[in-house]
Amino acid sequence: MTAQTEKRFKPWDDETAQQIAADNRDRPGALMPILTELLEDFGYINPEFVPHLADLLNLSRAEVHGVISFYHDFRTTPPGETVVKLCRAEACQAMGGAKLAEHAKQMLGVDFHGTTADGRYSLEQVFCLGNCACAPAVMLGETLYGRVTPERFDTVLKKHKGAA
């Protein structure tokens, strides 16, 4: 019923990754655009790709690893099919965000940064989705939801499951 179709991550493949890296290598500050593009495609950065990136950009492996480990988004293991980002910031807290977080953890059976056993969902905490006027907010993949009560969370999850 909804136009919001979920974008699927592709399984990691070195050839595509190398192409992305090669296409971006001459941009100023190339490492960040390369990493964000890899993330958009695969949902994670394969750590085995680090030496190749270091070589290509004339950086040390430590420098590349340092950048990957600095940013919350750059995970180094494949995420679940859908990443559930739950906002923990103040505006959402003011509208029952903490309760929603507890509920989500229980429903999915994982803590923050965890992936469900069936590989469908990864749960991540974020600090602000910019939906503070419709708190609490949750994002599934790139689909944003507002005024998410525990009941609405279940509905959204069910609808999402049905669509997948």
Partner 1 sequence: MKIYIPKDAAALSLGADETAEALAAAVPEAEIVRNGSYGLFWLEPMVEIEKDGRRIAFGSVMPEDVPSLIESGFGAAHPLYLGKTADIPALKMQNRLTFARCGVIDPLSLEDYTAYGGFDGLKKALEMPPQKIVDEVKESGLRGRGGAAFPTGIKWQTVLDCAADQKYIVCNADEGDSGTFADRMIMEGDPFTVIEGMIIAGLAVGATMGYIYLRSEYPHARDTLRAAIKTAYESGYLGDNIQGSGKSFDLELRMGAGSYICGEETALLESLEGKRGMIRYKPPLPAIKGLFGKPTVVNNVISLATIPVILEKGAAHHAAFGEGKSRGTLTVQLAGNVKYPGLYELAFGQPLRDLIYEIGGGTATGRPFRAVQCGGPLGPFLSERQLDLAVTYEDFAEQSAMVGHGGVVVFDDTVDMAQMARFSMEFGAEESCGKCTPCRIGTVRGYETIDKIIRGENRAANKALLEELCDTLIHGSLCAHGELIPYPVLSALREFPEDFGLDRQAA
Among 103, 104, 131, 160, binds partner 1 (CB under 8 A): 131
Q: What is the sign, positive or negative, of the torsion defined by CA atoms of 45, 51, 55, 60?
A: positive
Among 93, 114, 149, 150, binds partner 1 (CB under 8 A): 93
Instruction: Supply the minimum distance, in Å, between the C-beta of residue 105 and partner 1.
Output: 17
Q: Confirm or reject binding of residue 23 to partner 1 (CB under 8 A).
A: no
Q: Confirm or reject binding of residue 104 to partner 1 (CB under 8 A).
A: no
Calpha distance 129→89 (Å, rounded):
9
DSSP for 58-120 reads T--HHHHHHHHHHSTT--SSPPPSEEEEEE-SHHHHTTTHHHHHHHHHHHHT--TT-B-TTSS
Q: How many residues bind partner 1 (CB under 8 A)?
A: 49
Q: Are 100 and 153 in contact (CB under 8 A)?
A: yes
Site track 25-64 with partner 1 (rule: CB under 8 A), x = hit: ---xxxxxx-xx--x-----------------x-----x-
Instruction: Supply the minimum distance, in Å, between the C-beta of residue 117 and partner 1.
Output: 25
Q: Confirm or reject binding of residue 142 to partner 1 (CB under 8 A).
A: yes
Per DSSP, the three-state class of 148 is coil
